[in-house]
Structures are given as structure tokens and as C-alpha cells.
Amino acid sequence: MKKTPLVAAINDLSGYGHCSLTVVMPILSVMGFQCCPLPTAILSNHTGYESYFFQDYTEHLTEYLAEWQKLELNFAAVYTGFLGSEKQADIVGAFIRDVKKRAGENKPLIFVDPVLGDNGKPYITCTPEICESMKELVRQADVITPNITEACLLLDKEYCGERIDETAALKLVKELASLGSGQVVLTGVRSKAGMLANLAFDASQNHFYWVEEPAVEPYYNGAGDVFSAVLCGSLLAGLDMQSALEKSAFFVYLAAKDTAAAGASIRDGVMFEKYLKML
Ligand code: PXL
């Protein structure tokens, strides 16, 4: 019997609203990984609501990680999402280097979801400094999963709108690859009427991947978190990029369709729980 592989999930804990750790943890668990959270911030609910409690967790990260170091944990992957402050990039960056060193030949998967904004707007907590910090993490990643807003923020480009055609989307993933991550996945692209595309570029193979599903409206908060968590679990389980994209996109589509049918609020996120067992 092999030990359950460990994934360090570096993300905020938002108590309500289907995002970040409350999404990543159940998804990676059901996919067969022990998901070990490192909270970057603690919120009552995510920042898409008018009111929320927010506590930045930066000052505790070093002590927290020192205890993990004593335990000599070997992580199969590091998944990072929302950062609570710009200082966290240095701490997380050092942790990633340490995980890589410990793993040696068994290269861990460094999966960075650069959570910065959506629909052309940076999240309220996303300062220019946090954006710069995220660029540092992206450099260390094997896989990154920005949406178009995040892609433009990472590239210091003017926001080009959610609706971009295939040529523009492919150009954008190539530009993102120049930031240093081996595989770039661009999520939630409104490529043509009624469709939602997720595409990827593998820099080492010079290969593009493209997956489309019918778009479910509205595009729920945290849908990107659900997509990225399933993608990370699928890649770790050994699926190739095309199959991993298909699995992730289909999972989000099914759960979002149910969420829309239930008339849920866009802010309450995707009701994915019923579908966990199909992962
Ligand atoms: O789903 C992205 C996300 C993650 N974490 C926090 C957020 C958001 C989006 O609003 O506010 C705290």
C-alpha cells in the first residue's frame, strides 16, 4: 500500500462562497491526495460580497512552515492561489524551492493559480505589489491557470475583454509562457457565442490544447478555483493535458448548470458537491 501523496495548498480560507481552500481541499481529497492547507488569509466569505471579515495570515506563515519542516514532509505538489500580502511570495517561493530540493529526482508539480481578478477588474485586495509578487511565483511554476484578466495583469497589458478569438487567445498563452512557466492554461475564455473555452500551451512541446463547453451564465465566482483544482488533481493522477482539460471543463460545466438551475447567486459560487464522486 502506497502512502497518500501530499499536496500543499497555499490559498485563503473563505468560510462561505465556494472558493479557495473550501474548493481545493474536497476536490483534491476525493481525487486521492492528502491536501495540506497553508492559509494565506482567513475570511468569513470572499471579497465579492459587500462585507467580509479579512485577516492576513502572513505573520504566521514562517512559524507554520517551520513545523512542517520538522515533520520532513515530501510533497508531490504545491498548489498556490490567493495571496494575502505581497510578502507572502518570498515565503512561498522559499517553500517551493525547499519542496523541490527535498523531492530530488521525483519532481513535484508546482501549480500556480495566479488569483488576481476577474472580468477586467483586480480583486479589491489585489494591489500592484501583490501583482508583482505573483509574477515571481509564476516564474517558479510548472503550470499556471490565469483567466484573461489575470493574464493581462501578469503581462502588464491593457485588459482586452473576455471575448477574444482563437488567434488572440493563442497569442496570449504564448506570451504568458515567456514569464517562465512550462505549461500555461488560459481559463474561462468566451471564444464564440454560447461557448466557454479553456486552452493550454506547452512551451517545451510547442503544443496547443483547446477544450470548449457550452457556456453556463452567469460565470460563477470561484468557477476558476474549481477548474484549477480538478486540473491539478488530474495532472497529478497522470492524465495528459488534453484529458485533464476536458475533465476539468466538463466538471465545472455540470456543476455550473445545476447551480444555474437552482437560481443561486453568482457570488455564492458553483454547487459542485453533488459531482465530487465522479472525480
Ligand atoms: O475565487 C477567487 C477568490 C479567492 N479568494 C478570495 C476571493 C476570490 C474572489 O473574489 O475574494 C478571498
Half-sphere exposure for 144 (CA within 13 Å, toward CB): 31
Q: Is 86 exposed, middle or buried (0-12, 13-18, 19+ CB in 10 A)?
A: middle
Q: Return the beta strands (E) in the chain as ranges.
A: 6-14, 34-43, 54-56, 75-80, 109-112, 117-118, 121-122, 143-144, 183-189, 195-202, 207-214
Q: How far is CA 162 from CA 159, 240, 253, in A?
A: 9, 27, 18
273 Cα–ligand 1 center, Å:
19
Strands 121-122 and 117-118: antiparallel
User: Please, are residues 204 and 229 in contact by the beta-carbon 8 Å criterion?
Assistant: no
Tell the residue nearest (CA) to atom 1 of ligand 1.
222
Looking at ligand 1, which atom is closest to the CA of residue 43? 12
Strands 143-144 and 121-122: unpaired
Quote the pLDDT of residue 162: 82
Quote the pLDDT of residue 161: 86
124 Cα–ligand 1 center, Å:
9
Question: Hey, what amino acid is at 279?
Answer: L
Query: Ligand 1 within 6 A of 19 CB?
Result: yes
Looking at ligand 1, which atom is closest to the CA of residue 115? 2
**pLDDT tens over the chain, length 279 residues:** 889 999 999 999 999 999 999 999 999 999 999 999 999 999 999 999 999 999 999 999 999 999 999 999 999 999 999 999 999 999 999 999 999 999 988 999 999 999 999 999 999 999 999 999 999 999 999 999 999 999 999 999 999 888 888 899 999 999 999 999 999 999 999 988 899 999 999 999 999 999 999 999 999 999 999 999 999 999 999 999 999 999 999 999 999 999 999 999 999 999 999 999 999
Enter the pTM of the model: 0.97
